[in-house]
Structure 1
Amino acid sequence: MSLPRYDIYRPIHKGLRAFMAETMVAVGRMDAADAADTADVLARVRGLVDICHGHLRHEEDHVHPAMEARASGSAAGTETEHLDHRTALDAVSRAAEAVAAAPSPGTRAEAGHALYLTLARMVGENLMHMDMEEHQNNAILRAAYTDAELHAVEQGIVASLAPEEAQVILRWIIPNLTPAERADALRAMRGGMPAPAFEGLLAMLRQHLSPVERAKLDAALAAPADAAAAA
């Protein structure tokens, strides 16, 4: 039986789906009469928009050139959809600022619902887009590149991230992986980071795991390297 091929989209898309879904739900539950709750939710929306814009740039700077290098024209459709996504993200930003500028709880509630609908539409379009990338683009990439080459493309993206952006991305990716994926990712990071930096990252991520998930992760990270590889 052949082993699964490398999936460059899998971790980041899990993180993005979680970030989008949780933010959309938060907007739907926002209390427009509570200034602190409104400010917190709008900050989450702005953070999501920033990460989504960055994700588009990273794919266009790294993944799409790799596709075009060995299959000319193969990224054109994805690039066109990215233009639409930027328009949708700008609409979300405008809707969020309309909430912030609303003069009363009543008008803020109406603006909040408009934001919810705008965000939901953006999320729906992105879910379909990510599905396309995971099936069509992955097929193109896997036909043209080895797993080692695809991993190198992904590492190029990782190397380009500013520390603040990397922190946010990891906050959404790592907790939303399976226990095995989470342990594998953190073991790899532990091998390439100073111990204090890794412990700080781990402490942040543990806040977003359930007690059962934390226990599984602790056991996996404590296991000898050969036992982890066998698992």
Structure 2
Amino acid sequence: MYQRFDLLAPVHKGLRHALGGLVFQAGSLNVNNDGELRRFAEEFADIVDILESHSRDEDAHVHHLYERFAPETAAKLEAEHETLEAELGELQGLLDKALRAPEERGPTWYILQRKLTRFTTAYFSHLEREEGEAAEALWANLDDAQLKEVSVRIRSSIPPATMMIFLRYMLPALTFNERYDMLSGMKRFAPPEAYQAVRELAERRLRPEDWAELAAALDTVEQGA
């Protein structure tokens, strides 16, 4: 809902960016190049990390709200979580097989690409359910201050290393205003070293012109903490 606090949009943008890029890489990767395959496996592991973190955070901080305000939607989301978790395990198994059995990489990778595309399609549909009927239930029963409290609890529960993986994919996927709100808030309230780490990540991940615009805006913000 426009002009309401959106608990889900920024992280969902990052997850879409991550999975979309992974599908692209899987489709263009030279499976006979061990270096390319290892880099793909490393990125796959990072994306599994944030997918699992997102699922844990929902279970710990949001699912009970869905059960309270939209029990049918909660049941659908829980069933989808179980299916997606199983499919992610299948993908990991195929990737492991490609790494350990070079002679079977061709057919293994063909299956992995197709399953990854189907998984991503299903995952995007799952995100849409969260952003649609689930979010509507939250907006109908909680005000923005309450939703922001949930957001703070979620962010506080994410390990720093996992948060940096989230941000690696989120920052390029956000609008200028979303990036500015995030980093200006960090500059005011986060420890200086945490803000500096995210600022450096943004510089690496954004297009030069996007970074220049953001940096100029952030330089007008007084640092706190």
TM-score range, shorter chain: over 0.9
Which residue does the alignment assign to 1:62?
Answer: 61
Kept after mapping to 2: 8 A contact 1:12/1:173: yes
Using the size of structure 2 for normalisation, the TM-score is 0.92
Which residue does the alignment assign to 1:32?
Answer: 31
Which residue does the alignment assign to 1:83?
Answer: 82
Q: Which structure 1 residue ranges, 5 or more long, are not aligned?
A: 226-231
Alpha-carbon deviation of 1:165? 0.8
Q: How many pairs were matched up? A: 222
Which residue does the alignment assign to 2:102?
Answer: 103
Matches within 5 A, 1:69-148: 69-72=68-71, 74-104=73-103, 107-148=104-145
Which amino acid in 2 is paired with 1:153? V
CA 1:67–1:108 in structure 2 vs 1: closer, same or farther (change >3 Å)?
same
Which residue does the alignment assign to 1:210?
Answer: 207
CA 1:90–1:188 in structure 2 vs 1: closer, same or farther (change >3 Å)?
same
Kept after mapping to 1: 8 A contact 2:15/2:169: yes
Q: Percent identity?
A: 28
Q: Deviations over 1:7-37 (max 9, x none)?
A: 1110010000000001111111111121111
**2 CA distance for matches of 1:5 and 1:197?**
28
Which amino acid in 1 is paired with 2:30? D
Residue 47 (structure 1) aligned with residue 46 (structure 2): yes
Alpha-carbon deviation of 1:3? 6.4
**2 CA distance for matches of 1:45 and 1:198?**
26
CA 1:21–1:74 in structure 2 vs 1: closer, same or farther (change >3 Å)?
closer
CA 1:51–1:224 in structure 2 vs 1: closer, same or farther (change >3 Å)?
closer
Matches within 5 A, 1:158-169: 158-169=155-166
Kept after mapping to 2: 8 A contact 1:32/1:112: yes
Which residue does the alignment assign to 1:179?
Answer: 176
Alpha-carbon deviation of 1:139? 0.5
**1 CA distance for matches of 2:38 and 2:2?**
47
Kept after mapping to 2: 8 A contact 1:67/1:140: yes
Q: Which structure 2 residue ranges, 5 or more long, are not aligned?
A: none
Kept after mapping to 2: 8 A contact 1:89/1:122: yes
What CA RMSD, in Å, does the superposition of the two structures yield over aligned residues? 1.7
**1 CA distance for matches of 2:20 and 2:69?**
35
Which residue does the alignment assign to 2:193?
Answer: 196
Q: Deviations over 1:158-214 (max 9, x none)?
A: 111111111111111122101111111111112222223311221122111001101
Q: Deviations over 1:82-113 (max 9, x none)?
A: 11111111111111111112233xx2132222
Kept after mapping to 1: 8 A contact 2:7/2:148: yes
Using the size of structure 1 for normalisation, the TM-score is 0.90
CA 1:224–1:163 in structure 2 vs 1: closer, same or farther (change >3 Å)?
closer
